[in-house]
Amino acid sequence: MIRTGKFGSETKSVPDIVRKNQLPLNTNKDLDTLLDAIGDSKYVLLGEATHGTSEFYLWRAAISRRLIEEKGFNFIAVEGDWPDCYEVNKWIKDVKGERDIFDVLINSYRRWPTWMWSNWEIKELMEWLKFHNSHVADGNLVGFYGLDVYSLYESMERMKEFVKDLNDPEAYEAAHDVFLCFQPYAKDPKKYGRMMAKNKFSDGCLNEVINLLKQIREKYTAALSEGPQSKKEEDAFSAEMNSKVLVDAENYYRAMMASRSDSWNIRDDHMADTLDSLMKFHGPDAKCIVWAHNTHIGDARYTDMAKTGMRNLGQIVRTRHGNEGVFLVGFGMDEGSVIAGDAWGDPAEKKDAPSAPYNTWEYLIRQADTDLVPNKLLIFDYFKEDERKVFEETRGHRAIGVVYHPEHDTFGHWVPTVLARRYDAFIYLDQTRALHPLPSKVDLTLQPPQTYPWGILK
């Protein structure tokens, strides 16, 4: 008998196909086939089904380390804010610096949700990146950058610092004009957006931020001639990126608070443009690794996002750079604990995500020898044609954000997805654990959680 439900009719062949094609994931060595499939791709985008799952971070770190060591990838770009991540970037490149990594992470990531990048998992990876950079030539230092658009006021502060010591009254005046324009909104970008929503025909601070971007581009972009690994040139590049954040963040908060449908596209367009700038900055042979939620890195054309005109980073990168090699890796889980809040800005909590609902992708994948192979890698180009077609059906696929209510899991956290087209490969983890956030203040007596599975990174 064929059963039907919220996520479509049952296809009994899905577990059989998984059983035939699954590659077990237990150790770093098990990633060999994935690296072979990635081949010479210049863009590798690694997703996550939640913003608070330890194993997603661990496996992305393991993949990233191998891409850097074995294929010469130049940087990791993440779903984080530019100014915050740039502080971490400076730390991993300052190989002789003695500043403590706890201090760097806790004081860099102050905007909610802090746990996404201030956690034990990231601490471990950043320490490895610094160690790696201490053993390579200056021109080959690996970087760490943020792609997101939220940091309006933080980027403004960095711009003030950048122009403060410059003997250039015009640039200083442009930065000061931006500061004065946003000053009445008490460092609350949503307050600015609400005011612009009420005054639809107001230019707000748009002209000021565009003028500042123009100043930076005209006067300091020329200073990049010495190459991407010079601190002076990278700081100038960072200033340009912060000024671009101001332009796009002004537009984003205006759109978001006016409930405009294009706010999502503004954000992902900014991520894609920032990634393009990073690739250009690192030269024609650059290779990048991206960490972001599945909703950003999985091609939106193969979800219900497309019906409402939404596009995302993975779709844009495929469209712009498909001929250079783009490889998208989605992540999924059946059940486990996650870190999330009850509402935006609420304290981080450990929450339990229930097992996948009937007939979702995660549910069906779990039916395939999960006791024997709990963690699986599927590479869709290696499927036979008729097998791949089964994975080109539309089914629910888990998506948990920074706000999560497990009691509503079945209704609000499953995205209709054509799995084999949304991603090039899919990593399924059966049982997962919550991310391990760092505390709000540095405590040098802290030790990593005793149950933390460090072995994946070794």
Instruction: Inform me whether the pLDDT recorded for 445 exceeds 80.
Output: no
Same domain, yes or no: 250 and 299: no
Handedness of CA 264, 269, 274, 279 (dihedral sign): positive
Distance CA 342, CA 349 (A): 8
Q: What is the pLDDT of residues 90-149, one digit of tens each?
A: 999 998 888 999 999 999 999 999 999 999 999 999 999 999 999 998 889 999 999 999
The angle at the Cα of 368, spanning 366 to 374, to the nearest 5 degrees, equals: 60
Among 425, 416, 352, 420, residue whose Cα is nearest residue 50: 352
396 within 8 A of 390, measured Cβ to Cβ: no
Three-state SS for 117? coil
Q: What is the pLDDT of residues 229-254, one digit of tens each?
A: 567 789 889 999 999 999 999 999 98
Q: Which residues contact 414 (CB under 8 A, 6 or more apart)?
A: 7, 357, 360, 396, 397, 398, 399
Instruction: Inform me whether the pLDDT recorded for 443 exceeds 50.
Output: no
Same domain, yes or no: 182 and 224: yes
Pseudo-torsion of CA 289, 295, 300, 306, nearest 10°?
-160
Same domain, yes or no: 301 and 261: no
399 within 8 A of 415, measured Cβ to Cβ: yes
| CATH number of the domain to which 15 belongs | 3.40.1660.10
Among 235, 241, 297, 316, residue whose Cα is nearest residue 79: 297
Same domain, yes or no: 401 and 455: yes
Query: Which H helix or E strand runs over 410?
Result: helix 409-412
Question: What DSSP letter does each residue of 202-223 carry, written as one string?
Answer: --TTHHHHHHHHHHHHHHHGGG
User: 43 in a domain, yes or no?
Assistant: yes
Same domain, yes or no: 42 and 179: no
- Look at the block and give the residue holding tokens 């599927």: 378
Confidence (pLDDT) at 310: 96
User: 345 in a domain, yes or no?
Assistant: yes
Q: What is the pLDDT of residues 167-217, one digit of tens each?
A: 778 888 888 899 999 888 888 888 988 888 888 768 889 899 999 888 888
Same domain, yes or no: 164 and 234: yes
Burial class (CB in 10 A: 0-12, 13-18, 19+), 343: exposed
Same domain, yes or no: 241 and 387: no
Same domain, yes or no: 451 and 385: yes
User: 101 in a domain, yes or no?
Assistant: no
Same domain, yes or no: 258 and 299: no
Least confident of 58-72, 272-286, 386-400, 430-444: 430-444
User: 359 in a domain, yes or no?
Assistant: yes
Looking at 231, 266, 301, the residue that finishes a domain is 266
Confidence (pLDDT) at 130: 96
Higher-pLDDT residue of 9 and 102 is 102
Distance CA 127, CA 93 (A): 11
Among 186, 179, 164, 183, residue whose Cα is nearest residue 211: 179
Same domain, yes or no: 311 and 257: no
User: 279 in a domain, yes or no?
Assistant: no
Average pLDDT over residues 361-378: 93
User: 458 in a domain, yes or no?
Assistant: yes
Average pLDDT over residues 45-60: 97
User: 107 in a domain, yes or no?
Assistant: no
Distance CA 299, CA 366 (A): 23
Same domain, yes or no: 22 and 157: no
Instruction: Inform me whether the pLDDT recorded for 449 exceeds 50.
Output: no
| DSSP classification of residue 9 | E
Same domain, yes or no: 321 and 383: yes
The total of other beta-carbon atoms located within 10 Å of residue 454's CB is 12
Pseudo-torsion of CA 208, 210, 212, 214, nearest 10°?
-150
User: 115 in a domain, yes or no?
Assistant: no
Q: Which residues contact 201 (CB under 8 A, 6 or more apart)?
A: none
For the chain, what is the domain count? Answer: 2
| DSSP classification of residue 455 | G
* pLDDT-based confidence at residue 458 (cuts at 50, 70, 90): very low
Range of the structural domain that residue 202 is part of: 150-266
What does DSSP say about strands 288-291 and 375-379: parallel, antiparallel, or unpaired?
A: unpaired
Instruction: Inform me whether the pLDDT recorded for 448 exceeds 60.
Output: no
- Do you find a cis peptide bond into 347, omega within 30 degrees of 0? no
Distance CA 177, CA 173 (A): 6
Query: Which H helix or E strand runs over 18?
Result: helix 13-21
13 within 8 A of 7, measured Cβ to Cβ: no
Instruction: Inform me whether the pLDDT recorded for 226 exceeds 80.
Output: no
Q: How much is the pTM?
A: 0.91
Residues forming beta bridges with residue 4, ordered by sequence position:
9
Confidence (pLDDT) at 83: 96
Handedness of CA 403, 408, 411, 413 (dihedral sign): positive
Q: Over the chain, what is the mean pLDDT?
A: 89
The angle at the Cα of 80, spanning 74 to 82, to the nearest 5 degrees, equals: 70
